[in-house]
A and B are shown apart, each in its own frame.
Chain A
Amino acid sequence: MNCQLDAASIFYENSLYRFMYEATGSFVPCWMSHLLAGLAIMLLLVNSVLLGAALVTWLERRILGRLHNRIGPNRWGPFGLLQPIADLAKLLTKEDLVPAGADKLVFTLVPFVMMLPLVLMTAVIPFSYNTMLADLNVGVLFILAVSSASTIGIFMAGWSSNNRYALFGAARSVAVLISYEVPVVVSLLGIVMITGSMSLNSIVQAQTIPFLLVQPLALFIFVTGMSAELNRTPFDIAEAESEIIAGYHTEYSGIKFALIFATETGAMLVVSAIIATLFLSGWNGPLENFLGWLWFLLKTLGIIFVFIWVRGTYPRLRLDQIMALSWKFLLPLSLINLAVTSIEVFVLKGVDGYLSTMDLWIMAGINIPLSIMLVLLLGGVLNKKVDASPVKAVAPVVPGVATIEVK
């Protein structure tokens, strides 16, 4: 039984997969060597995501500490790097509680349901030149489809916990997801049109200049929408600590909580990686054949820093404001972006059906000022409605007392 990988296979470019497949293929049936090769890589990916999540937790706490004028965790390991492991050890020793009246099966399933889409998403991300599990030709679609599945886990958690705060969190989370899915999907259509492909690898290769410049509006919409789906500030209403304790995971403790928490930070890591891939030209950079992973990592860390920075700065929006932001602001913007991009692609596209670097620069030159103008314009329109100036109350005023009045 000598199994050879077909050159048309989505795994063909992945040299580790091919090696595992062909090595195991000599003593087991071919279908089983597919399984073994896939398992080996999934093991790598799962572990790198979880370890990455631990590192991101540490990073988040250190950076937030700096923003807060504190030091942050620094006791365990150099710069407190082992703090996530200490936390995990503590959580493992905790009692695994299931609240009375909870739906035990659904309650227990939640951490796995939430973890699964996260791990699946990593399958299509190109970490470096030709380093990905599967070069799926519908990569963008796959990511969008799988990432929204995590909300099912959130809703299961809220529903099964038998806790009213958790139910609040679950209901809010679903409402947010439904609103933000639309602008996020529409915003990515521009990229797909420019590259003419949904494969993440092709998108990276097409970025002779980062799409950050070509599609600034799409980046803005995507980052906003993703922070809403990730429950990051200012959209963290599903687990708003000051309002509904911990939202959907109020009742989770011990290792279940650890898994949910790891999923949340892991999701931030994966989404940052996707943003780096789609908008910051992924592994592109000097010496990309050898150092691709480094550029990819640096870009991902940059995005993560932005997420943490925003968390340390902004207050939270209200549910109705988040809805308004999505439907009245982001959705029109994403539609305008789609229209403008399609006209540009139609006009600039050469006879071979591809856009040259010069074309991309022209698009950047049009899109950047247009985006700034649109955001300011639409933001101003929205702002007037929100900030209706309050009526002055008639108040008895003591005369002869120096007062200053609010503007």
Chain B
Amino acid sequence: MNMRTEPMTVNVGPQHPSTHGVFRLRITFDGEEIVEVEPILGYLHRGSEKLAEERNYVQVVTLTDRLDYTSSMINNQAYCIAVEKLLDIEPPKRGKYLRTLVAELQRIASHLVAVGFFIQELGAFGTPLMYAFRSRERILDLFEMLCGARVTVSYMRPGGVFADTPEDFWPALSDFLEEFDEEFGEMEQLLLQNEILTSRTRGVSTLPADMAINCSVSGPVLRASGVNWDWRKMAPYDAYAEMEFDIPVGRSGDNYDRFWVRMQEIRQSVRIIEQCVERIESGPVRHADLPLVVRPEPGVEAYGRVEASKGELAFYLVSDGGVSPYRCKVRSPSLINLTVTEHLLVGWTLPDMIVSLGSVDINMGEVDR
């Protein structure tokens, strides 16, 4: 029997529950199989790069919070490192340690969100997500102690951080670390060996290493493909040179490996935080003789780069000698990681597509800027 069938085009997003924000995919389906994908971006464009040209160097920090709103601290860090290179200054040691510490806390929070929603997209109704958010809440509470804000933190400044820790921060942090071990252990127990999870994700949407490198993919997505590339090791910034940690790498770059790499990175981040707590010394937290409004030399350029939770996040700044950058370019990992979308999705089915998209872990605030 010969039945006439025709492909069906569906707009997934921008109001779909699992597109991680206002992301839209125009997908052509043959049955449930995907034959064509076209990502459509720009629903959250706020012109952050242009806005940066109108603010002075310190004010731009608040703009970076709103790029990847699940990892504001790391965005602050990347921008501050770029400005420090522009001014050719170094933050004091305590400032460096504090930045490393909060960046790792933020990485945990961001990975928890990524893993939680990844499982949610697999269809688990809320429980793993709420487990993840239980720990994330604790981290946000710690941020609130540090700077009074939970999400849009603006904690870091060029030359260090804006304030030292309050007294009750350190006991709260050690409490958190103690309980996080157990809470995260529960999550690992529930998820890592889960039969349905492994059968849904193993071997699905594989990303070969050469493809990943050619598409300039970075972060957990690259590492899941088997490349042990991490800017914290390759070009250590802040206090990472003194930290001991491993890089988890996947084998085949499938959905499970991307999920597994994030789960392991959370454990490694805890290791880094523990080392920070052990070695931090008292002292100033911000570069002493820095005016409120800095004016770098005209014609100077700087490229500050960090390993953000989603990949390589970099700020490229050009100075014309004024109070604000002449040009501020953001190299956002989410946008670049989206270049492999088509490769990951075509040929797989609708349920796998949602999961693959979740495993890449994009953040629209950062994609559209």
Q: CB within 8 Å of B: which residues of A?
A: 64, 67-70, 164-165, 168, 233-234, 236-237, 240-245, 311-321, 383, 386-388, 390-398, 401-406
Contact = CB atoms under 8 A, between A and B. Distances in A.
Interface string B331-362: 00000000000000000011110100000000
B352 A393 contact: no
A404 B196 contact: no
B18 to A, nearest CB: 4
B89 to A, nearest CB: 29
Range of interface residues on B (Cβ < 8 Å): 35 or more
A390 B252 contact: yes
A388 B203 contact: yes
Contact of B227 (A165, A319, A395): A395
Contacts of A244: 350
Nearest to B352: A318
A376 B2 CA distance: 41
Which 4 A-B residue pairs are closest in the complex by CB-CB distance?
Answer: A316-B123, A395-B226, A395-B209, A390-B252
A392 B251 contact: yes
A395 B250 CA distance: 10
Contact of A392 (B16, B127, B252, B349): B252
B100 interface: no
B10 interface: yes
Interface string B1-42: 000000010100000111000000000000010000000000
Contacts of B197: 315
Interface string B119-145: 111111111001100100000000000
A165 B350 CA distance: 11
A165 to B, nearest CB: 7
A70 B124 CA distance: 16
B216 interface: no
Given A240-B351, A393-B251, A404 B130 contact: no
B125 A404 contact: no
Contact of A242 (B120, B200, B245, B264): B120
Interface of B: 8, 10, 16-18, 32, 119-127, 130-131, 134, 190, 194-200, 202-203, 206, 208-209, 213, 225-230, 233-234, 244-254, 256-257, 260-261, 264, 349-352, 354
A245 B12 CA distance: 10
A387 B121 CA distance: 20
Contacts of A241: 17
Given A240-B123, A240-B351, A393 B253 contact: yes
Given A237-B351, A315-B197, A319-B351, A391 B252 contact: yes
Contacts of A313: 124, 127, 190
Contact of B234 (A312, A321, A398, A405): A398
Contact of A321 (B200, B260, B350): B200
Given A168-B350, A318-B351, A388-B203, A242 B123 contact: yes
Contacts of A386: 199
B367 to A, nearest CB: 20
17 contacts: A67-B126, A68-B126, A69-B131, A240-B351, A243-B354, A313-B127, A315-B197, A316-B122, A317-B196, A321-B200, A383-B199, A390-B206, A392-B251, A392-B252, A396-B213, A402-B244, A406-B260
A165 B122 CA distance: 17
Given A316-B351, A398-B228, A398-B233, 7 more contacts: A233-B125, A313-B124, A315-B122, A392-B251, A392-B252, A396-B213, A406-B257
A404 B252 contact: no
Contact of A69 (B16, B18, B130, B354): B130
Residue among B125, B209, B248, B252 with most chain A CB within 10 A = B125
Nearest to B196: A315
Contacts of A398: 227-229, 233-234
Contacts of A406: 248-251, 256-257, 260-261
A236 B251 CA distance: 31
B225 A317 contact: no
Given A315-B200, A403-B246, A406-B250, A396 B18 contact: no
B124 A314 contact: yes
Contacts of A319: 32, 349, 351
Residue among A168, A243, A392, A398 with most chain B CB within 10 A = A243
Contacts of A403: 228, 246-249
A168 B121 CA distance: 17
Nearest to A324: B199
Given A390-B206, A401-B228, A243 B199 contact: no
Nearest to A313: B127
B200 A317 contact: yes
A68 B227 CA distance: 36
B227 A404 contact: no
B357 to A, nearest CB: 10
A101 B313 CA distance: 47
B127 A312 contact: yes
